[in-house]
Structure 1
Amino acid sequence: MPDRRPRPPHPALALDDTVHQRVRLGILTVLSETRECKFGTLRDELGLTDGNLNRHLRILEQADLLQVIKGYEGRRPCTWLRLTRQGRTALRAEVAALEQLVERLRNAPAEEPETDT
């Protein structure tokens, strides 16, 4: 008799498209490791161009996942980035979904299933 219990949704469905993109996941991860980070430090850490980093920062800022603070360091303009509470929560949820995916893979059969051809 087949099992009729509802199955939980696949963990991949919990991945957030805004967070899951490779560069944005990197940005959130770097920002989670510090209170705030300079634009240039983040750019160099992730190996990005100014324009590429700016584009991803705008998306994350619009989603309220990070805060952009503009000011000066002496006479030089400087931009600092800070993870918001929502950003920290979104990153934790993303990591939890990824951990569930990894766990499913670890529990999957070691051999490829037989297919009918």
Structure 2
Amino acid sequence: MSHPRHELDEVIHSPVRLSIAATLAAVDKAEFAFVRDSVEITDSALSKQVATLEKAGYVTVTKGYVGKRPRTWLALSEEGRRAFERHLAALRAIAEGRPAGG
């Protein structure tokens, strides 16, 4: 039996990245500005954190237009959703004093 902390995902564990993942887990996709405002960070901070999540394969970034205005949409990939759920399960196990997978 191992401690559930071993199941925590280092990419998602950062408070800002966890907040981004939680915001995206509730929707199919969200505009960049919506996520920025929800998580209460700057454009540049969100861009940096999204790049980390994208590199890990957890977030997809889609660019397009609404009318003539450029927009960026963010979404959790299937891999990202699974990683987020595993991370939450590990946090719950830690909080409840259970062993990993218990």
Smaller-chain TM-score bracket:
over 0.9
* d(CA) in 1 for partners of 2:59, 2:25: 10
4+ residue runs over 2 A deviation: none
Residue equivalent to 1:62? 55
TM-score by length of 2: 0.93
Q: 1:37-68 CA distances to partner (integer Å, 9 max, x unpaired)? A: 00000000010000000000000001110100
- Mind listing any 5+ residue stretches in structure 2 that lack a counterpart? none
Root mean square deviation of aligned Cα: 1.0
Residue equivalent to 1:30? 23
- Check if 1:43 corresponds to 2:36: yes
TM-score by length of 1: 0.82
Mapping 1:63-78, distance limit 5 Å: 63-78=56-71
Identity %, equivalent residues: 38
Q: Would you say how many aligned residue pairs link Structure 1 and Structure 2?
A: 98
- With a CA cutoff of 8 Å and minimum separation of 6, indicate the structure with the bigger relative contact order: 2
- Mind listing any 5+ residue stretches in structure 1 that lack a counterpart? 1-7, 106-117
Residue equivalent to 1:91? 84
